[in-house]
Amino acid sequence: MISRTTAALAFLAVLLACGPASTPATGDKYYGPIDGSVLDAKLRPAAAATGRCPTGQAPCYPPQQVSIHGATVPIYNMGTVATGLTFTSGTLSAATFVNSSIYAYDFPDVCQPDLEYDPFADPYPNDHQFPVFSALPLTPTGTAVVLPIVRTTGVFGLTTNPCNALKKTASIEAGMLGAAPDDLKTNAAVRLWAVIDPAAWVIPLSDTSAFQPQYGWFKGLILSYLDGGKVPLNASGNVLTMEGVVVDPAGTGSSALTANKVIIFPFTQDEAGYSPIVRLRHFRAAANTQPSAYTAICTSAVPAAGLPPCTGAPNEVNISPLPAAAETLIAVTPGF
């Protein structure tokens, strides 16, 4: 079943954006949804012309099928980066993408909930507090690279605030309704929270998937984001990456990085070694073999870095002799 949650929310938000002025007693005014067209290109939805959206469901965020441990797993591909990132020993420097990244106050249960949500009368549910973002991942100027890495921390001092009364980081930092933000430098988690266009269709990962976009706030504007989980860091605070493989067809040419069953991950989100920042190495399929026939990564290297040793099975790709990574994929992979 196709989800149109974000599209319906955006329509209602346009109709119901007007509200009372913000005051210290009532919280922040609601201004409607963000304009998704200003997001970085990686985070915008696929257009109808790409052929990736179901008929009548464009623009959209479609799932993509990748292989992990021989199984087919759906993910959301939030774009690839070919240049502009600097890696050292399997890490991405934190100087740009963590220390100076967007931050968000995340305090979902520190509020008074209203459980009687009417989707036809209310612009958004108030059963919990949405996180409050400091900025949006906008199209950069120059050659800067945008990654949807967000630092999150909590808020204390709140007691009788209605859920979603606070919609601006400035209000939280000014102590509205008693808010006392935690220290981002000493007590912050690092997450892949990919802000998306709230007016676009989000195609479910599968017919039975319960994974849905989440909602957040930016300066009184409502946004949608896909939660890609925690971003692993090493002891120096640099982002740990994951090595993946893209299987190119036999002969010449490269696989489209949005195609199904051409990308292989070594780990799921629930395993040590997983990262949503995936460095892709290219492997050429053997003659008369489709890229989809390869579904697992192995290694002949020692140490193996958590990868299984190669057994010679026809579905394996030995990552050890492959050339250096050519692209970096940002992946939203729900836990399994």
Helix (H) or strand (E) holding 225: strand 221-230
- Is pLDDT of 19 > 60? no
Question: Structure tokens of 24?
Answer: 């210290």
Whether the pLDDT of residue 7 is over 90: the answer is no
DSSP type of residue 15: H
Angle at 108 between CA 135 and CA 175, to 5 degrees: 65
Say if residue 334's pLDDT is above 90. no
**Is residue 286 in a domain?**
no
Asked whether residue 225 is domain-assigned, the answer is yes
Q: What are phi and psi of 171, to 5 degrees?
A: -65, -40
User: Which of 22-31, 89-98, 322-331: highest mean pLDDT?
Assistant: 322-331
What's the CA angle centered on 109, arms 107 and 115, to 5 degrees? 130
pLDDT at 336: 54
Q: What is the DSSP string of 164-178?
A: T----HHHHHTTGGG
**Mean pLDDT value of segment 1-17:** 43
Confirm whether 44 is domain-assigned: yes
* Residue 23: band (very low, low, confident or very high) from pLDDT cuts 50, 70, 90: low
- For position 141, what pLDDT does the model report? 83
CA distance 179 to 165: 11
- Determine the Cα–Cα distance for residues 118 and 157; give it in Å rounded to an integer: 29
Residue 19 amino acid letter: G
pLDDT of 99? 78
**Tokens 């808020």 label which residue?**
155
The H or E element that residue 224 is part of is strand 221-230
pLDDT tens, residue by residue, 199-225: 999 999 999 999 999 999 999 999 999
In a domain, 23, yes or no: yes
Cα–Cα distance between 53 and 42 in angstroms, integer? 16
234, 271, 279, 207: which is closest to 68 by C-alpha? Answer: 271
Joined together, the tokens standing for residue 152 give 């999150």
Strand partners, 71: 68
Residue 147 neighbours by CB distance under 10 Å: 26
Q: Is the pLDDT of residue 4 over 70?
A: no
295 located within any domain: no
* 192 contact partners, CB below 8 Å, separation of at least 6: 148, 149, 150, 227, 228, 229, 230, 231, 276, 277, 330, 332
Is pLDDT of 1 > 90? no
Q: Which residues pair with 77 in a beta bridge?
A: 331
Percent of the chain predicted with pLDDT > 90: 77
Give the three-class secondary structure for 229: strand
| Euclidean distance between CA atoms 264 and 316, whole angstroms | 10
Q: Which residues are CB-contacts of 75 (< 8 A; sequence separation ≥ 6)?
A: 63, 64, 65, 66, 205, 331, 332, 333
**Residue 200 is assigned to a structural domain of this protein:** yes
Who contacts 15 (Cβ-Cβ below 8 Å, separation ≥6)? 123
Kindly tell me if the per-residue pLDDT of 128 is higher than 70. yes
List the one residue out of 194, 122, 111 whose CA is nearest residue 155.
111
Residue 305 is predicted with a pLDDT of 86
Buried b (16+ CB within 10 A) or exposed e, 78-111: bbbbeeebebeeebbbbebbbeebbbbbbbeebb
For residue 240, is it within any domain?
A: no
Looking up tokens 């490269």 gives 254
The DSSP symbol for 110 reads S
Backbone angles phi, psi at 289, to 5 degrees: -125, 130
Q: What is the pLDDT of residue 37?
A: 96
Q: pLDDT at residue 16 above 50?
A: no
Range of the domain at 141: 5-62+95-230
**Element at 9 (helix H, strand E):** helix 5-16
Residue 167 lies in a domain: yes
Phi, psi of 114 (to 5 degrees): -115, 110
The count of domains in the chain is 1
